[in-house]
Amino acid sequence: MSAVRQYELIYITPPEITDEALAEVHTQVQAVVDRFGGTIEKTENWGRRRLAYEIGRQREGTYVLEVINGPGALTTELDRRLRVLDAVIRHLIVRVDEDLAVAERSRVRRKEDLAKRRVKRGLPPEPTESERHRREDDDDDADGPELGFRAERGDR
Protein backbone atom coordinates (compact mmCIF):
# COMPACT_ATOMS: atom_id res chain seq x y z
CA MET A 1 0.00 0.00 0.00
CA SER A 2 2.82 2.29 -0.67
CA ALA A 3 2.54 3.10 -4.30
CA VAL A 4 5.27 5.19 -5.82
CA ARG A 5 4.03 8.62 -6.62
CA GLN A 6 5.62 11.66 -8.04
CA TYR A 7 5.86 14.88 -6.11
CA GLU A 8 7.28 18.26 -6.77
CA LEU A 9 8.85 20.04 -3.89
CA ILE A 10 9.67 23.71 -4.18
CA TYR A 11 11.37 25.58 -1.42
CA ILE A 12 12.49 29.13 -1.04
CA THR A 13 15.52 30.17 0.93
CA PRO A 14 16.75 33.68 1.65
CA PRO A 15 18.74 35.03 -1.32
CA GLU A 16 21.94 35.55 0.64
CA ILE A 17 22.16 31.87 1.55
CA THR A 18 25.57 30.26 1.18
CA ASP A 19 26.11 27.35 -1.14
CA GLU A 20 26.95 25.14 1.81
CA ALA A 21 23.67 25.92 3.56
CA LEU A 22 21.81 25.21 0.35
CA ALA A 23 23.61 21.91 -0.03
CA GLU A 24 22.77 21.15 3.59
CA VAL A 25 19.05 21.59 2.93
CA HIS A 26 19.36 19.35 -0.09
CA THR A 27 21.08 16.61 1.93
CA GLN A 28 18.33 16.80 4.53
CA VAL A 29 15.71 16.36 1.84
CA GLN A 30 17.72 13.54 0.31
CA ALA A 31 17.97 11.84 3.70
CA VAL A 32 14.21 11.88 4.24
CA VAL A 33 13.57 10.65 0.71
CA ASP A 34 16.08 7.85 1.13
CA ARG A 35 14.57 6.78 4.42
CA PHE A 36 11.22 6.23 2.74
CA GLY A 37 12.82 4.42 -0.17
CA GLY A 38 12.18 7.16 -2.67
CA THR A 39 14.39 8.78 -5.27
CA ILE A 40 15.03 12.33 -6.31
CA GLU A 41 14.49 12.47 -10.01
CA LYS A 42 15.83 15.91 -10.60
CA THR A 43 16.91 19.01 -8.77
CA GLU A 44 16.64 22.40 -10.33
CA ASN A 45 17.95 25.60 -8.88
CA TRP A 46 16.05 28.57 -10.23
CA GLY A 47 18.39 30.98 -8.55
CA ARG A 48 17.44 34.32 -7.15
CA ARG A 49 13.93 35.47 -7.92
CA ARG A 50 11.73 38.30 -6.84
CA LEU A 51 8.94 37.21 -4.54
CA ALA A 52 5.43 38.29 -5.44
CA TYR A 53 4.96 39.40 -1.84
CA GLU A 54 7.10 39.76 1.23
CA ILE A 55 7.78 36.69 3.30
CA GLY A 56 9.19 37.59 6.68
CA ARG A 57 10.72 40.85 5.43
CA GLN A 58 12.31 39.12 2.45
CA ARG A 59 11.57 40.51 -0.99
CA GLU A 60 13.69 38.02 -2.90
CA GLY A 61 14.44 34.39 -2.55
CA THR A 62 16.35 31.49 -4.02
CA TYR A 63 14.04 28.85 -5.44
CA VAL A 64 14.88 25.17 -5.61
CA LEU A 65 12.71 22.57 -7.28
CA GLU A 66 13.04 18.87 -6.52
CA VAL A 67 11.10 16.20 -8.35
CA ILE A 68 10.69 13.25 -6.03
CA ASN A 69 9.41 9.74 -6.64
CA GLY A 70 8.29 7.89 -3.56
CA PRO A 71 5.46 6.86 -1.25
CA GLY A 72 2.98 9.36 0.07
CA ALA A 73 4.15 9.00 3.66
CA LEU A 74 7.28 10.86 2.73
CA THR A 75 5.49 14.14 2.20
CA THR A 76 4.33 14.43 5.78
CA GLU A 77 7.83 13.95 7.09
CA LEU A 78 9.34 16.26 4.51
CA ASP A 79 6.78 18.89 5.32
CA ARG A 80 7.50 18.64 9.02
CA ARG A 81 11.24 18.88 8.54
CA LEU A 82 11.13 21.79 6.17
CA ARG A 83 8.89 23.75 8.46
CA VAL A 84 11.51 23.57 11.16
CA LEU A 85 14.45 24.61 9.01
CA ASP A 86 15.36 28.27 9.27
CA ALA A 87 17.02 28.24 5.88
CA VAL A 88 13.71 27.50 4.22
CA ILE A 89 11.26 30.37 4.32
CA ARG A 90 8.54 28.75 2.26
CA HIS A 91 7.95 25.36 0.72
CA LEU A 92 5.30 23.54 -1.25
CA ILE A 93 4.82 19.88 -2.06
CA VAL A 94 2.50 19.00 -4.90
CA ARG A 95 1.59 15.60 -6.24
CA VAL A 96 1.99 15.68 -9.99
CA ASP A 97 1.80 12.15 -11.38
CA GLU A 98 -1.99 12.11 -11.70
CA ASP A 99 -2.22 15.48 -13.38
CA LEU A 100 0.52 14.62 -15.81
CA ALA A 101 -1.11 11.29 -16.59
CA VAL A 102 -4.41 13.01 -17.32
CA ALA A 103 -2.69 15.53 -19.55
CA GLU A 104 -0.88 12.78 -21.40
CA ARG A 105 -4.07 10.84 -21.89
CA SER A 106 -5.94 13.75 -23.38
CA ARG A 107 -3.00 14.56 -25.61
CA VAL A 108 -2.98 11.03 -26.97
CA ARG A 109 -6.75 11.00 -27.35
CA ARG A 110 -6.71 14.25 -29.29
CA LYS A 111 -4.06 12.93 -31.61
CA GLU A 112 -6.01 9.74 -32.25
CA ASP A 113 -9.22 11.65 -32.87
CA LEU A 114 -7.51 13.87 -35.36
CA ALA A 115 -6.04 10.87 -37.16
CA LYS A 116 -9.42 9.16 -37.24
CA ARG A 117 -11.17 12.19 -38.65
CA ARG A 118 -8.52 12.64 -41.28
CA VAL A 119 -8.63 9.03 -42.38
CA LYS A 120 -12.41 9.34 -42.71
CA ARG A 121 -11.92 12.19 -45.12
CA GLY A 122 -9.42 10.15 -47.08
CA LEU A 123 -6.38 12.08 -45.95
CA PRO A 124 -3.17 10.78 -44.46
CA PRO A 125 -3.43 10.59 -40.65
CA GLU A 126 -0.77 13.21 -40.04
CA PRO A 127 -1.28 16.76 -41.30
CA THR A 128 1.31 17.78 -43.84
CA GLU A 129 3.49 20.79 -43.35
CA SER A 130 1.62 23.04 -45.76
CA GLU A 131 -1.74 22.12 -44.25
CA ARG A 132 -0.52 22.96 -40.83
CA HIS A 133 0.26 26.49 -41.91
CA ARG A 134 -3.15 26.97 -43.41
CA ARG A 135 -4.85 25.53 -40.36
CA GLU A 136 -3.31 28.12 -38.12
CA ASP A 137 -5.34 30.87 -39.72
CA ASP A 138 -8.55 29.46 -41.07
CA ASP A 139 -10.95 31.39 -38.90
CA ASP A 140 -12.33 34.63 -40.20
CA ASP A 141 -11.51 36.97 -37.38
CA ALA A 142 -8.56 39.25 -37.17
CA ASP A 143 -5.66 37.82 -35.27
CA GLY A 144 -5.20 40.83 -33.13
CA PRO A 145 -3.98 40.72 -29.57
CA GLU A 146 -6.36 37.85 -29.01
CA LEU A 147 -6.05 37.08 -25.34
CA GLY A 148 -3.39 39.57 -24.57
CA PHE A 149 -5.91 41.83 -22.94
CA ARG A 150 -4.79 43.84 -19.95
CA ALA A 151 -2.28 42.43 -17.48
CA GLU A 152 0.27 41.79 -20.18
CA ARG A 153 3.09 41.77 -17.79
CA GLY A 154 5.19 38.67 -17.87
CA ASP A 155 7.46 38.18 -14.98
CA ARG A 156 7.80 40.93 -12.49
Partner 1 sequence: MSDERDSRGGRGAGKAADKEKGGRRGGFFRRRRVCKFCVEKIDYINYKDVKLIAPFIPERGKIQPRRISGVCATHQRALQTAIKRARQIALVPYTTD
Shortest spacing between CB 1 and partner 1, in angstroms: 26
Q: What's the number of CA atoms in the CB half-sphere (13 Å) around residue 45?
A: 11
Contact string 84-123 vs partner 1 (x = CB under 8 A): ------xxx-x----xx-xxx-xx--x-------------
User: Quick one: 34 or 41, whose CB is closer to partner 1?
Assistant: 41
139 contacts partner 1 (rule: CB under 8 A): yes
Angstrom distances, CA of residue 26 to CA of 20, 64, 74, 147, 155: 10, 9, 15, 40, 27
Q: Using CB under 8 A, which of the segments 27-35, 67-75, 125-133, 135-143 binds partner 1?
A: 135-143
Q: What is the dihedral of CA 33, 34, 39, 43, to 10 degrees?
A: 60
Shortest spacing between CB 37 and partner 1, in angstroms: 26
- # binding residues, partner 1 (CB under 8 A): 35
Residues making up the chain, counted from first to last: 156
